[in-house]
A and B are shown apart, each in its own frame.
Chain A
Amino acid sequence: MKYADFPDDRGHFGDFGGIFASETLMHCLQELKQAYKKFKTDETFQAQFKKDLADYVGRPSPLYLAERLTQKVGGANIWLKREDLNHTGAHKINNTVGQILLAKAMGKKRIIAETGAGQHGVATATVAARLGLECVVYMGEVDIARQAINVFRMKLLGAEVRSVSSGSKTLKDALNEAMRDWVTNVDDTFYIIGTVAGPEPYPEMVRDFNAVIGQEVKKQSAEKMGGLPDALVACVGGGSNAMGLFHDFLDDASVAIYGVEAGGHGVETGEHAASITAGKVGVLHGNRTYVMSDDDGQITETHSISAGLDYPGVGPEHAFLNHTGRAQYVTINDDEALDAFHTLTKIEGILPALESSHAVAYGMKLARNLPKGANIVVNLSGRGDKDVHTIAAIEGVTV
Chain B
Amino acid sequence: MSRLNPTFEQLQGCKALIPFITAGHPKAEWTVAIMHALVEAGADVIELGIPFSDPMADGEVIQLSSEQAIANGVGLKDVLLLVQLFRERNSTTPIVLMGYLNPVECFGYAEFVDQAKNAGVDAVLLVDSPVEESAHLLSLLKAADMEQIFLVAPTTTDERTKHITAHAGGFLYYVALKGVTGSADLDAESVNVDIQKIKNQTTLPVAVGFGVKDAASAVAVAKQADAVVIGSALVKKLGQCENESDATRAAKPIRTALNSL
Contacts and interface: CB of A to CB of B under 8 A. Distances in A.
A18 interface: yes
A24 B54 contact: no
Interface string B41-59: 0000000000111111101
Contacts, number: 126
A296 interface: yes
Interface residues of A, number: 39
A291 B103 CA distance: 12
Interface in A171-220: 172-173, 176, 179-180, 183-187
A187 B129 CA distance: 22
Given A27-B155, A297-B75, A298-B52, A22 B57 contact: yes
A179 B60 CA distance: 14
A187 B154 CA distance: 11
A16 to B, nearest CB: 12
A136 interface: no
Given A23-B152, A167-B53, A180-B56, A297 B102 contact: yes
Contact of A20 (B70, B75, B130): B130
A298 B103 contact: yes
A296 B63 contact: no
A298 B130 CA distance: 20
Given A23-B152, A172-B54, A297 B128 contact: no
Contacts of B152: 23
Given A24-B178, A186-B178, A296 B77 contact: yes
Contact of A176 (B51, B56, B101, B102): B56
Given A26-B130, A284-B54, A299-B54, A186 B155 contact: yes
A293 B67 CA distance: 15
Contacts of A167: 53-54, 67
Interface in B123-159: 127-130, 132-133, 150-157
Contacts of A184: 178-180, 183
Interface of B: 51-57, 59-60, 63, 67, 70, 75-77, 100-107, 127-130, 132-133, 150-157, 160, 164, 175, 178-180, 183
5 contacts: A21-B128, A22-B56, A23-B151, A23-B164, A180-B57
